[in-house]
């Protein structure tokens, strides 16, 4: 029941906040958001699951109720947690609370609506990570679009309307493609499955016969490959993976800081999480078949994304493109299909969530004071806002994968896992992708040098002063978490690997 409580609190909180008066909305929303955070931490503490949720693992906090009988297929409310989803749930709740606090300063109109939407998005994000029935999962997956569309559209930057609609339509098209593919998969499995419950489908794919039917005049194997590719593309848009990434920078740049935090911190993880849950859990054979092209895509995402970041002058754009780059590492880790690879990829999801969140907050805090994000417009900000800049620098080094910060752990796991991967030329691909760590240092340090160092200069008609404490507090929390995970990755890596192993064993069988 705890999971239901988690979602319910967020939903009700959203409604309450939505009707609350504007001036109290921020504080109220923060107070409310602490409840899910607390619950999720409690779940984390008392987690007793083992194995993979989709592959006969023992779920924690599981609950299932019949919902709809659609012909011979049953749809149910089916939620549960395993070592992969729990860290992401905690990430979501914690990040939401921090994002809410970080938006006290920048959000100065229609507050109650804003915070209501943030809580609403939190509810759906949690749902995405806990849902184990395809339709239930898909509801949450799609429902995320609405609040994000409005968050970007209402409180965003100058080109917010374009960015919002682009994000909305682009990702939705991808969802439709993926949906069709999955349904085809279910039909392809024929009588092997009688419901849309993901564990059942995964079981039929991995331990069962796999796709047996000949659909649309396609041989089972062809069908499986097509479904795999279609779903991969569908999720690739959400991740995003080059060349499906162009909605991301627009959305990031135009979105208000807290929205960016959630977007980069959690929404992108939906894509990689789905990839892991669907493609990489249900299609072990195809994963091996398509290892080379996917690895190539991963490398391209890393390098190309980094190159794009290098060409930007807008701090947010830089971070946005670097997200593309970082997500490339995740893909690399997933395709490696080794314990450290897939586990590292999952770890990177959490790590990148924290670090990119921190970066966006720091950039946001500076933006609050300067009202510009162009590194060319400002210089020597360290002189006026030492603490904020200090955190920005810390975050930047986290992004570069500085040891003893979570980013390094994640990247190292992925590299190590990918280097020893089974597919051909794995070391080469790893080596190429690793060059990203040089490029990332390049563009981040270049931006820092221009924006925060050097003699102070910024055209403002007011005095730029230090950031208020409630802007800094969330960043300190994040920094603490980043370092904690960097020093002690086993805080979550144990449970992750525990949930990852069954996937890989499925690959062998």
Partner 1 sequence: MAIYELPEWTALGPALILAVTALALFAFDSISPRSTNRQLLAGTAVAGSLTSLGVAVWFTVAGVGTPTADGGNGVIDPTHGFVVDQLALYFMIIVAVVTALIVVASYDYLVDHAYQAEYYSLVILAATGMSLMAAADSLVTILIALELASLPSYALVAILKDNRGSVEAGLKYFLIGSLSSAIFIYGISLVYGATGHLELAAIAEVVSGETEAGSGHDITEMGGLLGLGILMLIGGFAFKTASVPFHFWAPEAYEGAPAPISAFLSSASKAAGFVVLFRVFTEAFPLGEIGAVIGFDWTVAFIVLAIVTMTLGNFAAATQDSVKRMLAYSSIGHAGYALIGLAGLTADGGELVMGAAMMHLLVYGFMNTGAFLFVALAEHWGVGRTFEDYNGLAAQAPVACAAMAVFMFSLAGIPPFGGFFSKYFLFVGALEAATASTAMLVVAAVLVINSALSLYYYSRLVKAIWIEDPPATRDRLAQPTGLYAAIIVAAVMTIVILPGFGPVVDAALDAAGAVVG
Partner 2 sequence: MEGAFSYAPAIAAFPLVAFVVALVFGKWMPKKGAIAGIAATGASLVFSLWMLAAVASGETYHETLYEWTAGEAASEIGADTIGFSFGILIDPLAALMLVIVSLVAFLVHVFSLGYMNAEGETGLPRYYAGLGLFTFSMLSFVYADNLLMAFMFFELVGLCSFLLIGFWFRTRSAPSAAKKAFLVTRFGDYFFLLGVVAIAATFGTLQFAGDESFVAAAEAAIDDGGQLFGFDAETWVTITGLLVLGGVIGKSAQFPLHTWLPDAMEGPTTVSALIHAATMVAAGVYLVARMFGYYALSPTTLAIIAFIGGFTALFAATMGVVKDDVKQVLAYSTISQYGYMMLGLGVGGYVAGVFHLMNHAFFKALLFLGAGAVIVLMHHEQNMWKMGGLKDKAPVTYYTFLAGALALAGIIPFSGFWSKDEILYDALIVGLEEPLIMAAYAMGLLAVFFTGFYTFRMVFLTFHGEPRSEAAEDPHPVGWSIKLPLIVLGILAVVAGIANLAPVAKLANVDITFLEHWLDGEYGGIDEVTYSAYSELLAYETGVISSEQVTVLIAAGLSLLLAFSGAGLAWKLYSDPEPTAHKERLGSAGTVVEDNYYQDEYQVWLAEGVTLPLARVADRFDQTVIDGTVNGVSTASLFGSSWVKRIQTGIVTNYAALLIAGFIALLLGLGVYGGWF
- Among residue numbers 81 through 140, which ones bind partner 1 (CB under 8 A)? 135, 138-140
- Give, in order, the Cα–Cα distances in Å from 358 to each of 246, 322, 435, 493: 23, 14, 23, 21
Tokens of 259: 């929205």
Applying CB under 8 A, the span of 47-55, 75-83, 196-204, 404-412 interacting with partner 2 comes to: 404-412
Contact with partner 1 (CB under 8 A): which of 15, 38, 41, 169?
A: 169
149 scored as a contact of partner 1 (CB under 8 A)? yes
Burial (CB count <10 Å: 0-12, 13-18, 19+), residue 1:
exposed
Contact with partner 1 (CB under 8 A): which of 31, 154, 292, 402?
A: 154
Distance CA(47)–CA(29), nearest Å, equals 27
- Give, in order, the Cα–Cα distances in Å from 381 to each of 13, 260, 377, 393, 396: 38, 22, 11, 12, 15
184 scored as a contact of partner 1 (CB under 8 A)? yes
Build a one-symbol-per-residue string for 241-280: x at contacts with partner 2 by CB under 8 A, - elsewhere. --x-xxx---------------------------------
Applying CB under 8 A, the span of 21-29, 92-100, 360-368, 416-424 interacting with partner 2 comes to: 416-424
CA triplet 214, 216, 218: central angle to 5 degrees? 50
Burial (CB count <10 Å: 0-12, 13-18, 19+), residue 313:
middle
C-alpha torsion sign, points 478, 484, 486, 491? negative
In the bound state with partner 2, the residue whose beta carbon lies nearer, of 115 and 493, is 493
Q: How far is the CB of 157 from partner 2 (least distance, A)?
A: 17
293 scored as a contact of partner 2 (CB under 8 A)? no
228 scored as a contact of partner 1 (CB under 8 A)? no
311 scored as a contact of partner 2 (CB under 8 A)? yes
Q: How far is the CB of 168 from partner 1 (least distance, A)?
A: 6
24 scored as a contact of partner 1 (CB under 8 A)? no
3-class secondary structure, 236: helix
**Residue 455 neighbours by CB distance under 10 Å:** 7
- DSSP letters along 242-305, please? TTS-THHHHHHHHS-HHHHHHIIIIIHHHHHHHHHHTHHHH-HHHHHHTHHHHHHHHHHHHHHH
Distance CA(240)–CA(247), nearest Å, equals 9
360 scored as a contact of partner 2 (CB under 8 A)? no
Q: Which of partner 2, partner 1, none binds 213 (CB below 5-8 Å, type-dependent)?
A: partner 1
Q: How far is the CB of 150 from partner 1 (least distance, A)?
A: 6
Contact with partner 2 (CB under 8 A): which of 19, 70, 438, 473?
A: 438
In the bound state with partner 1, the residue whose beta carbon lies nearer, of 52 and 175, is 175
Contact with partner 2 (CB under 8 A): which of 13, 343, 364, 474?
A: 343
Q: Is 3 in contact with 79 (CB distance < 8 Å)?
A: yes
In the bound state with partner 1, the residue whose beta carbon lies nearer, of 71 and 455, is 71
Secondary structure (H, E, C), 181-221: HHHHHHHHHHHHCCECEHHHHHHHHHCCCCCCCCECCECHH
In the bound state with partner 1, the residue whose beta carbon lies nearer, of 238 and 352, is 238
16 scored as a contact of partner 1 (CB under 8 A)? no
In the bound state with partner 2, the residue whose beta carbon lies nearer, of 221 and 449, is 449
Q: Is 105 in contact with 368 (CB distance < 8 Å)?
A: yes
Q: Is 63 in contact with 120 (CB distance < 8 Å)?
A: no
Give the footprint of partner 2 on this chain (CB under 8 A): 166, 169-170, 243, 245-247, 304, 307-308, 310-312, 338-340, 343, 380, 382-383, 397, 400, 402-404, 408-409, 412-413, 415-417, 419-422, 427, 430-431, 434-435, 437-438, 441-442, 445-446, 448-449, 452-456, 488-490, 493, 497
């Amino acid at each position: 029941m705890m999971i239901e409580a988690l979602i319910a609190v967020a939903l009700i909180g959203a409604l309450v906040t939505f009707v609350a008066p504007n001036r109290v909305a921020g504080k109220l929303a923060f107070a409310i958001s602490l409840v899910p955070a607390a619950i999720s931490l409690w779940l984390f503490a008392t987690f007793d699951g083992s194995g993979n949720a989709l592959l006969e693992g023992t779920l924690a906090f599981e609950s299932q109720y019949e919902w709809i009988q659609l012909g011979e297929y049953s749809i149910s409310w089916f939620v549960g947690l395993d070592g992969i989803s729990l860290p992401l749930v905690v990430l979501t709740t914690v990040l939401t609370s921090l994002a809410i606090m970080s938006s006290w300063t920048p959000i100065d109109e229609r507050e109650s609506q804003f915070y209501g939407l943030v809580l609403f998005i939190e509810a759906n994000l949690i749902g995405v990570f806990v849902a184990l029935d395809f339709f239930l999962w898909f509801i949450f997956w799609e429902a995320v679009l609405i609040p994000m569309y409005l968050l970007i559209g209402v409180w965003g930057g100058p080109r917010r309307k374009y960015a919002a609609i682009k994000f909305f339509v682009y990702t939705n098209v991808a969802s439709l493609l993926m949906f069709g593919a999955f349904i085809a998969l279910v039909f392809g499995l024929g009588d092997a499955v009688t419901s849309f419950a993901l564990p059942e489908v995964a079981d039929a794919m991995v331990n069962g016969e796999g796709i047996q039917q000949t659909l649309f005049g396609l041989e089972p194997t062809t069908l499986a490959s097509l479904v795999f590719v279609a779903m991969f593309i569908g999720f690739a848009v959400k991740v995003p993976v080059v060349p499906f990434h162009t909605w991301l920078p627009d959305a990031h740049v135009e979105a208000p800081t807290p929205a960016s935090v959630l977007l980069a911190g959690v929404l992108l993880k939906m894509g990689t999480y789905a990839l892991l849950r669907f493609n990489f859990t249900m299609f072990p054979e195809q994963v091996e078949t398509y290892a080379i092209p996917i690895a190539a895509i991963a490398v391209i995402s890393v390098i190309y994304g980094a190159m794009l970041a290098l060409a930007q002058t807008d701090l947010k754009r830089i971070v946005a493109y670097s997200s593309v780059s970082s997500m490339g590492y995740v893909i690399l880790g997933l395709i490696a299909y080794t314990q450290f690879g897939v586990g590292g990829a999952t770890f990177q999801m959490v790590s990148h969530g924290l670090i990119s969140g921190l970066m966006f907050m720091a950039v946001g805090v500076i933006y609050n004071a300067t009202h510009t994000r162009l590194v060319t417009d400002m210089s020597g900000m360290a002189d006026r806002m030492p603490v904020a800049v200090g955190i920005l620098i810390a975050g930047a080094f986290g992004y570069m994968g500085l040891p003893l910060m979570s980013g390094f752990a994640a990247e190292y796991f992925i590299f190590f896992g990918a280097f020893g991967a089974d597919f051909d030329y794995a070391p080469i691909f790893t080596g190429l992708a690793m060059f990203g760590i040089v490029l990332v240092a390049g563009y981040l340090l270049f931006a820092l040098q221009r924006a925060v160092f050097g003699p102070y200069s910024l055209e403002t008609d007011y005095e730029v002063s230090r950031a208020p404490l409630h802007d800094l507090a969330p960043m300190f929390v994040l920094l603490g978490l980043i370092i904690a995970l960097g020093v002690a990755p086993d805080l979550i890596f144990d449970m992750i690997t525990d949930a990852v192993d069954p996937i890989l064993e499925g690959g062998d069988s």
